[in-house]
A and B are shown apart, each in its own frame.
Chain A
Amino acid sequence: MTKRSRLTRVVGVLALLAALAFLAGCGGGGNKSSSGSSGGSSNSGKTYPVLRVIWDAPDYMDPQLYYTVAAYQINNYVWSGLLGYKHAAGPAGAQLVPYLAESMPKISADGKDLKFTLRKNLHYSNGAAVKASDFKYSIERAFKMDSPGVGFFSAISGVSGANGFATTKKGHITGIITNDANRTIELKLDHPEGDILYILALEFAHVVPSGTPASDQSTHPIPSTGPYMVQSYQPNRGFTLVRNPHYNNQIPTEPSGNPDKVVGTIITDPVAAYQRVVSDKADYDFQPVPNDRLPEAQSKYKDQLRIYTNANTYYYALNNAIPPFNNINARKAVQMAIDPQAIISGVYGGLGRPTENFLPPGYPQYKKIDAWHFDLAKAKQLVQQSGTAGQTVDVYGPNEDPSKANTEYLAGQLTKIGYKPKLHLLSHAVYFQTIGNQATKAQAMFTDWYQDYPHPIDWFDTLLNGNRIAKIHNNNVGNVNVPSVNKEIEALKKITTLTPDVNNRWAKVDSDLMAKYATTVPYMNRSSTDFFGSKVDMSCYTFSVVLYWDWGLSCMK
């Protein structure tokens, strides 16, 4: 698996905190089927002509390729998958609902066979009919384009192995069986995957017409299935979305949206973006309000500002495989040398919540860890006990603020407890691939993670499973490798139903890795802002766990 996260953009939700409702949502991802009537609505009678937004630059405008929130948030009303998320505020937004599928799938008892049926009379924005085989074509297209999301599909039969489609890219994926006449899609898996339904809701599994070229089509908009279609896209300049003329509420679980048109202007400088909205030249600022302007925004534009904390964790990765942090006392010392509140105040202007958990609050598997307290004297003592005092530590971080300032803080604290840190600040473009390369031998690193989908597998298996340590493109940058925990993660991965007992086991994984073995130093769930122009009616503001600010439900005064 790879990741959408590690973005400059913070997205998320405060409302994740309502864990029970979320539990219901995750439970829906199990082996039961349900009707597809939840969550959707046609437009609410609050339609308006145009929504003008300031946006960040999307990486692509092609569903098999895009992986940034900037692309995801705007395009979730454009292309659709078999499943999607309910458009609802708060934890209800984490609930999977059928989109192109007429209902949740029928899953076999062994969890290795999933059967979907497409809704009737589905059409693309160009009027062509949506076929079951288009789904198979879309997944194969992702592989042919070396999409960043192909790792998610590794459990589908015929994908992995020397002769698998991922390697050969020839023939077809044998584990996807479609029937256009009956509108059925059958997925066969090599082994049960606890998060397979969430994976099918990812953008990489969104359906495009068979025959769409297997190359980036960002500037040649692909016909869409959702309520909107891309009318134009000029990289680094802007985009325009208009209503899909053939939508006809064909996905009843997805709202048809209020704005008739969305005009996006790409501005990557947060100060300039903020100014555009302040001067009412735009209705929404995608960029976080700069720390410098937050006091002003809070006092002068309080009604237009929303602050949220979504499912993310900022943490310092310590290389558990090499000295000094292969010593547990050295790792515990770092835990005690870090003051989360100081980082949140000084570096992020207060936009964050302290944490010691790896899993963000709001997950039903979350159980608050309270193991560490900021104590420099004790941290120094632990460093002395570990026998690692005076060692050089190569500290890595991005070279742009606030991550740069954050990494400088880490280096400063390491100095205070007796190490000799050497700071390496790299461009964001190469940062994660550099620390993900074992040859770098990074010892302490800034890093963060934003959920791909709301399931603990996306956190512990992707980032902290010792069995998945790789030489390059290593997501487990701290080389965390606790055999007993690895075994538990492997066992939990196969369980498709998140019962309270299973949730407790995931919580123990969190506690073992963060408190017992002190493998990693999580310190913050970062918050961010949604800032609106004065014409926007804030009573329509809807923030969902997965979809972020739901612009389709926005309305004007």
Chain B
Amino acid sequence: MATESTTDFTLDTAAALAAAEDEGAIEGKSPWYLAWRRLRRNYVALAFLFVFVAIVVLCLCAPLYAHHVAHTGPNTGHLGETFTRDGQQVPIVSKGGFQNGQFHAGGIPVGPQLWHAGGKYVLGADNQGRDVAVRLLYGGLNSLAIGIGSAVICTFFAMVFALLAGYYGGKTDWIISRFFDLIWAFPVLLLAIALGTALSINGFHHFGINIKSGSLWIPTLVISYVLIPYIGRPLRGQILSLREKEFIEAANSQGASSLRVMFSELLPNIASSILVFFTLIIANNILTEAGLSFLGAGVQPPSPSWGTMIADGQDRIATAPWLAIIPGIMIVLTVLSLNVFGDGLRDALDPRAKVRMEH
């Protein structure tokens, strides 16, 4: 409310002005609120967040779908069996072989039945007679579990290493930086393949840790390990910069412990970057998992993942293209949704930031 001065300025006038100012005080807004306000105006990012959440919810429903709709498990083969479609018995995988001396090519699984077979083989079958829809959902569970799990582990260790290296500097920084260099010296996928292949045969049985071959922990840990520098390095750079700021000097001069400075002062200031990195690296990890599983170094058969499903389908691309295309679409949708949302989140948290996953 503006007050037009028509008289001399008195103490009463000052009091009136102060009162008027209190009435129109601007409410303080937290950076998180501002970010959310920016994000909710980004409809594209929100739409893709919805897509990602929908995929996660669908995959979480895998056991329900398998039990109540498809009536089969993800690894249960049905070679040599039939199913009912429109009252007729149809072989799940076409029969082939020699009849009366004549060869007949077979082995072509049924295509997508949608709802014509009472919920069975909605997306068709694979060459073992397994229900593709069931495997797709369970495969999604595995891919997402590995993607998100490895992102959590990778981000946690990258954050800890970055804080230690950036805050302490000196020898600690040198050792951690050389560790990053060591991992970075190898092409990420090749290193992951090498580790994944070696561990998938016999598992990991060292330092009191026992992980059996075939466990999802193997691709999860391998992916976490090889991607640590890709988050750790940029975070370390930010910490090195923040360490020189006045508020850190102030905290130090007030006698704050190193841990307090790291976790109460530095960490909140890189939280937005960590959040963006975390979102983007989930997409990256899902892609890496798919690549590893496609090459046999990730999820081990018969467990499904979108990568193993593409690998299984590639030999049938001419006669049963859905086997490779459907899991491929799921990977594209998931990665695209995470990337678009991650970009939106980055813009919302710090419109000036240039956080990029580069490798």
Contacts and interface: CB of A to CB of B under 8 A. Distances in A.
A308 to B, nearest CB: 10
B315 interface: yes
A291 B315 contact: yes
Interface string B191-214: 000000000010000000000011
Nearest to B320: A292
Max count, chain B CB within 10 A of own CB: residue among A290, A344, A349: A349
Contact of A292 (B79, B98, B129, B319): B319
A426 interface: yes
B79 A346 contact: yes
B96 A296 contact: no
A405 B95 contact: no
A345 B98 CA distance: 10
A148 interface: no
A307 interface: yes
B268 interface: no
B103 A352 contact: no
Nearest to B129: A346
Contacts of B103: 298, 307, 350-351, 527
Contacts of A401: 312, 315
B133 to A, nearest CB: 18
B97 A353 contact: yes
Interface in A405-432: 405, 408-409, 411-413, 415-416, 422-426
A423 B320 CA distance: 26
Given A291-B107, A424-B201, A345 B95 contact: yes
Interface in B180-239: 201, 213-214
A341 interface: yes
Nearest to A291: B107
Interface string A380-415: 000000000000000000010100110011011101
B105 A350 contact: yes
Contact of B96 (A293, A350, A409): A350
A213 interface: no
B76 interface: yes
A339 interface: yes
Given A292-B317, A292-B319, A298 B105 contact: yes
Interface in B75-115: 75-77, 79-80, 93-98, 103-109
B288 interface: no
Contacts of A425: 296, 300-301
Contact of B79 (A354, A409, A426): A409
Contacts of A354: 97
B316 interface: yes
A359 to B, nearest CB: 19
Nearest to B104: A350
A416 B214 CA distance: 20
Contacts of A411: 302
Contacts of B109: 346
The DSSP consensus for interface residues of chain B is: loop
A408 B96 contact: no
B79 A296 contact: no
B155 interface: no
Contacts of A423: 214, 300-302
Nearest to B103: A307
B300 A345 contact: no
A425 B213 CA distance: 10
B18 interface: no
A348 interface: yes
Given A345-B107, A347-B107, A350-B96, A412 B302 contact: yes
Nearest to B302: A408
B301 A408 contact: yes
A394 to B, nearest CB: 10
B291 to A, nearest CB: 16
A413 B79 CA distance: 10
B42 interface: no
B213 A344 contact: no
A422 B214 CA distance: 9
A345 B302 contact: no
A334 interface: no
A294 interface: yes
Nearest to B97: A350
A157 to B, nearest CB: 44
Interface residues on A, range: 35 or more
A343 interface: yes
Interface string A341-373: 111111111111110000000000000000000
A541 to B, nearest CB: 16
Contacts of A422: 214
Contact of A409 (B94, B95, B128, B312): B128
Contacts of A413: 77
A265 B213 CA distance: 39
Contacts of A291: 105, 107, 315-316, 319
A76 B79 CA distance: 40
Contacts of A348: 96, 107
Interface in A205-235: none
A1 B105 CA distance: 36
Interface in B267-312: 296, 300-302, 312
B80 to A, nearest CB: 3
Contacts of A342: 79-80, 93
A423 to B, nearest CB: 6
A408 B26 CA distance: 67
Contacts of B93: 342, 345-346
Contacts of B250: none
B318 interface: yes
B318 A345 contact: no
A458 to B, nearest CB: 25
B127 interface: yes
Given A294-B105, A307-B103, A425-B301, A409 B97 contact: no
A344 B97 contact: yes
B97, B201, B214, B296 — most chain A CB neighbours (10 Å): B97
B315 A404 contact: no
A161 interface: no
A413 B108 CA distance: 20
A307 B97 CA distance: 11
From B103, B129, B320, name the one whose CB has the most chain A CB atoms within 10 angstroms: B103
Given A346-B80, A350-B106, A409-B77, A399 B316 contact: no
A174 B77 CA distance: 58
B80 A345 contact: yes
Contacts of B316: 291-292
Q: Which residue, of B96, B107, B300, has the highest number of chain A Cβ atoms within 10 A?
A: B107
Interface string B51-78: 0000000000000000000000001110
A342 B94 CA distance: 9
A295 interface: yes
A343 B214 CA distance: 24
A517 B72 CA distance: 35
Contacts of A353: 97-98
A292 B80 contact: no
A296 B318 contact: yes
Given A345-B93, A350-B97, A350-B106, 9 more contacts: A292-B317, A292-B318, A295-B105, A341-B95, A346-B129, A349-B96, A399-B296, A412-B76, A416-B76
30 contacts: A291-B316, A291-B319, A292-B316, A292-B317, A295-B319, A341-B80, A344-B106, A345-B97, A346-B127, A346-B128, A347-B107, A349-B106, A349-B107, A350-B97, A350-B107, A351-B96, A352-B97, A405-B128, A408-B301, A409-B77, A412-B75, A412-B76, A412-B128, A413-B77, A423-B300, A423-B301, A423-B302, A424-B201, A425-B300, A527-B103
> Which 5 pairs from chain A and chain B are nearest by CB?
A350-B96, A342-B80, A342-B79, A349-B107, A350-B106
Interface of B: 75-77, 79-80, 93-98, 103-109, 127-129, 201, 213-214, 296, 300-302, 312, 315-320
Interface of A: 290-296, 298, 307, 339, 341-354, 374, 399, 401, 404-405, 408-409, 411-413, 415-416, 422-426, 527
